A = this chain, B = another copy of it.
Amino acid sequence: MPARANRSPAPRSRGQRVRAPEATRERLVAAAFEEIHRHGYQGAGLDTILANAGVTKGALYHHFTDKADLAHAVIDEVIRGLTLTRWTGPLASYVGDPISGIQSVLKVVADEFCEERLVDKVELGCPLNNLAQEMSPLDERFRRRVAVVFETWIESFAQALERGRKEGSVRREVDARKVATFVVAAVEGSFGLAKNAKSAPLLRENLEVLTDFLDSLRATPATKRRR
């Protein structure tokens, strides 16, 4: 196993304690996110998290009741935040018809993971989907929290599509909610296959097919967008 990187070393130099509870908490959550992203919840070791956060058991159990509580914070804060930043945020601020908006967001993500700097992250998969698949049947509290994040994601896409329908850019027969759910499912499925194949190009190609599918929903019969 590769030595685990300990970025942002502990700011405690013994004799000069800093006393920044909020910062400590966030270091713990951030380190937990990393570990869980790499090894899953069950595979994540508290000792590793503590080492990477630069704190000890005392700090952990001061801020959280147990391992699950820490993971809940990871979902509610980090993973939810990432979903908003990557998907709902960019789509909401997009100017233009919603289908082009979703396609634009897909392209941004595809480009991002094809960059040299992030190709390695493809094999770690989507943190949201990872937790969903691992924990949904095991712990109801995990399942619900993850479901909430999925819901906001789907709902933002659904509202965009519904708006497009009313504005005339999206075909009338389209069920915005169903399509939005499908798009999210297809995105997560694409991440999953790319993760197993360790292939960022595979992710990109899948998102391209998804883009074609979205074109087929346009009211103006698919004027072959730029790719």
Residues of A near any B CB (own CB < 8 A): 38-40, 42-43, 123-125, 129-130, 132-134, 136-138, 143, 146-147, 150, 178-179, 181-182, 184-190, 192-193, 195-198, 202, 205-206, 208-210, 213, 216
Contact = CB atoms under 8 A, between A and B. Distances in A.
A209 B136 contact: no
Contacts of A209: 178-179, 181-182
A147 B197 contact: yes
Contacts of A206: 178, 181-182, 185
18 contacts: A123-B136, A124-B137, A132-B195, A136-B198, A137-B195, A143-B198, A147-B197, A150-B196, A178-B206, A179-B209, A182-B190, A182-B205, A182-B206, A182-B209, A185-B186, A186-B189, A188-B193, A192-B192
A162 to B, nearest CB: 16
Contact of A196 (B147, B192, B196, B198): B147
Contacts of A208: 178
A45 B103 CA distance: 44
A147 B134 CA distance: 19
Contacts of A216: 213, 216
Contacts of A179: 209
A133 B129 contact: yes
B123 A195 contact: no
